[in-house]
Structure 1
Amino acid sequence: MYSIDKYHFKEFKIAPGHRANYAVLCNTEFEENQWGMKYSPANNYSREYKILPLFSHPQIPIRYKEGNAMMYKEGKSVIAQNYLIITHFEGADIVEYFQKRGLPDQDEMKRVIQYFSNATLPLHHMHSKGYIHSDIKPGHIILNPHTGTIALIDLECTIKIGEIICGMSKEYASPEQKQMIRMLRDGEEEKTVLKKVKMNAASDMYSVGLIFYRVLTGKLWQEANINPQEINKAIPDKLNRVLLGLLEENPDNRIPSAEALKKELATV
């Protein structure tokens, strides 16, 4: 048994490539699987703790507490950890889920469409509040296949629409995110960058498109860069057009919002 502060969990789970490790709390005063804990000796979660109350949606975590305390294993001290306690969502990384199942066939295509339609709900809520997630990747879209719902988690990099980004996952970043990072690295002032690069909901939609493409084809768009139907012939023509509409390099030509994506998926 492990503990941090007064919070207990059974397994020490390390997530390579992520800024946080994660465990489900098993305190007796909590309901089973009610709360999860992000923890790391290096990363601080105070920013996410402040951001979470901006949103009120059943598919976005609720915060409980953040802090710093020693981690213990069977009563013996291990290492101090920063931690954040949030709503626990049962489920799996959506890409990993389909990697285990194989490419969706015609019979499963309807479910995939429903999953991504469901993912538009927390995104629309966030965008309607004037914010973008700006770090959408498979591990941040948690699918519960039993309920068909998607949870949108890890809001550490969430920003107001039109702000400078504070992080991204390169494989799932939009072209404008990459452009912004390049300009900042080249020493351009933030005011100049913001005049040239507009961060809005369309940036999140590109990231959703990259994940959607990978679920339906098993490949990264950047590596394959071919029509999704050429890889998976079970993809309907209309859905194929939706995918390509999400992956437009120019955000002005891209499906612009979660609400617009939901409407498009309803017609597939």
Structure 2
Amino acid sequence: MEIDWEKLDKLSDKLEIKVEYFVEQIENFGLMEVPEKIEWLQKHFPEIQKRFMFANKYFLIGRLPEGFYKKGYAAIDLFTREKVALLLLKPETMLGGHIHSELPATNIFFNENRASYNLKHPNIIEFYDSNITEDNQLYIAFKLEDAITIEDSLRFIRENTDGDRYSESLVIKLMLYVSKALEYMHNKGYIHGDVKASNVLVNRENYAKLADFGTVRKIGDPTRILGSLSYTAPEVLRGEPPTPVSDVFSLGVLGYYMKYGELPFKVAEQDWPDGLVEKILTFEPEIHPNHKFLKVFLEKNPKKRLKNGAACRRVLNWLQSAPVDHRILFDLFRMPYRLLERFIYYNNFEFIGGRSYEKESG
């Protein structure tokens, strides 16, 4: 097999053709088991390296969605054969080929790198590598999951079926996985800051992992780094520092989006962003009686919202195996406040005002 390199260079998207030419050799056949493939790669390595290698070890095989300060590629580590998601800092955030730590995007990138390295949980995408190349290109690599984002999953459903949303049971299941990731992060002293459909990966078994840690910060850190506006909690929009309860609101928006196929807060393009901010602060989205569990995530008053990932996990875990109709359970939220407090106490839930109502042991 020979490659017309000149033709390849003329393509508008060179990464599309590399899958056809190269991945078959690396992934399906295996380099070490097929000597002739090794010989072929060695012969063409200068050309391959020129076009498709990064940091002398990563073989680029496709594009991934870009963020506002980084671009992404699917790649294979030729030393370990591990598939990775490779995130590179965009050139416009680098000045004169040197790293400028005063640039917000660069700060965010370093922050994401540190947080990703420190956060290890089954429901969090797995950190793989990070470094700076000889030409000062920053990058982070994560193990590439055999999964797609919830955003892409819902888009596929809309485009290829008559539906546009998930079932209630699947919504609860996926929210539970995300809540476990948030519980771990909150217990470690971190806030995610940007829980949304494009930052949650789901595989064929409907197992979910939380990704993208560019907005992660320590609890109490006054740094103002807003995530996606449509998912941002009202108190954060009012200028208050984000807290774990802010992540809970974002999880509620995600739950609503998965259940209804649209965001709870949306405005016409000409009204963005001020109109959207106003809507999040004042508008109460319509929620069907069957789905009232979403209300405890979307409470505008943070004191009445589930207080952290652990509280979310407990409620969602209970809902997943609830012996009663969810409509009956969440009709309780119409009860007088003191009666509701007692119900929470006797069911080992944690929410309302950030107070704990767990029964004392013994």
TM, length-normalised to structure 2: 0.58
* 1:94 matched to 2:150: yes
CA distance in 1, matches of 2:134, 2:87: 13
* Letter aligned with residue 129 of structure 1: K
Does 2:246 match 1:246?
Answer: no
1:38-117 matched pairs, under 5 angstroms:
38-39=87-88, 40-41=90-91, 42=93, 43-44=105-106, 45-60=109-124, 61-68=126-133, 81-101=137-157, 102-104=163-165, 108-117=167-176
Q: Which residue of 1 aligns with 2:71?
A: 21
Residues in 2 aligned to 1:215 and 1:139: alpha-carbon distance in whole angstroms: 12
* Deviation, structure 1 residue 223: 2.7
Alignment match, 1:73 = none
Give me the whole-angstrom Cα distance separating, in 2, the residues matched to 1:216 and 1:18.
Answer: 27
2:263 maps to 1:220: yes
Residue from 36, 39, 58 that aligns with 2:85: 36
Verify the 8 A CA contact 2:111 2:216 in the aligned structure 1.
Answer: no
Give the Cα–Cα distance (whole angstroms) in 2 for the partners of residues 99 and 254 of structure 1: 29
Contact 2:183 2:313 (C-alpha < 8 Å) held by counterparts: no
Determine whether 1:201 maps to 2:244: yes
Query: Which residue of 171, 177, 198 maps to 1:139?
Result: 198
- Compute the displacement of 1:92 (Å): 1.7
Quick check: 2:165–2:261 contact (8 Å CA) kept in 1? no
Opposite residue 207 of structure 2, the aligned amino acid is T
- Structure 1 250/68 Cα, relative in aligned 2: closer, same or farther at 3 Å? farther
For 1:200, the aligned partner's letter is: T
The structure in which a higher percent of residues are helix is 2
Secondary structure at the counterpart of residue 136 of structure 1:
coil
SS at match of 2:76: coil
Residues 1:155 and 2:213 are matched in the alignment? yes
Task: List per-residue Cα deviations over 1:142-180 (Å, max 9, x = no partner).
Answer: 111x23221111111111112223332212111122122
Residues 14 and 93 of structure 1: CA distance in aligned 2, closer, same or farther (over 3 Å): closer
**Partner Cα separation in structure 1 for residue 169 and residue 55 of structure 2:** 45
Contact 2:191-2:243 at 8 Å conserved across structures: yes
Distance 1:13 1:36, change over 3 A: closer
Please, what is the CA RMSD of the aligned residues? Answer: 2.3
Deviations 1:76-124 (A, max 9, x none): xxxx74321122223222133123322446xx32222211111111111
**Percent sequence identity over matched residues?**
22
Mapped contact 2:128–2:141 kept (Cα < 8 A):
yes
CA-to-partner distance for each residue in 1:53-95, whole Å, 9 max, x for gaps? Answer: 332212323241222456xxxxxxxxx7432112222322213
Q: Deviations over 1:129-148 (max 9, x none)?
A: 1111012222111111x232
In the alignment, the residues of structure 1 paired with residue 60 and residue 190 of structure 2 have an alpha-carbon distance, to the nearest angstrom, of: 33
On the 8 A contact 1:98/1:104 being kept in 2, the answer is yes
**In 2, distance between residues paired with 1:248 and 1:58?**
28
Distance in 2 of aligned mates of 1:176 and 1:98: 29
Higher strand residue share: 1
SS at match of 1:228: coil
Q: For the Cα contact (< 8 Å) 1:49–1:63, is it kept in 2?
A: no
Count how many residue pairs are aligned between Structure 1 and Structure 2.
230
**Gapped regions of structure 2 (runs ≥ 5):** 1-17, 19-51, 94-104, 158-162, 268-283, 320-325, 327-362
- Show CA shifts across 1:192-218 (max 9, x none): xxxxx3532110010111111111112
Distance 1:115 1:14 in 2: 22
Structure 1 distance, partners of 2:138, 2:175, is 33
1-side partners of 2:228 and 2:215: how far apart?
A: 10
Q: Does 1:261 align with 2:321?
A: no
Whether the 8 Å contact between 2:297 and 2:305 is mirrored in structure 1 is: yes
Q: Report which structure shows greater RCO (CA 8 Å, sep ≥6).
A: 1
Q: Is the 8 A contact 2:189 2:219 kept in 1?
A: yes
Find the aligned partners of 2:68 and 2:255 in 1 and give their Cα distance: 21
* 1:14 positional shift: 4.9
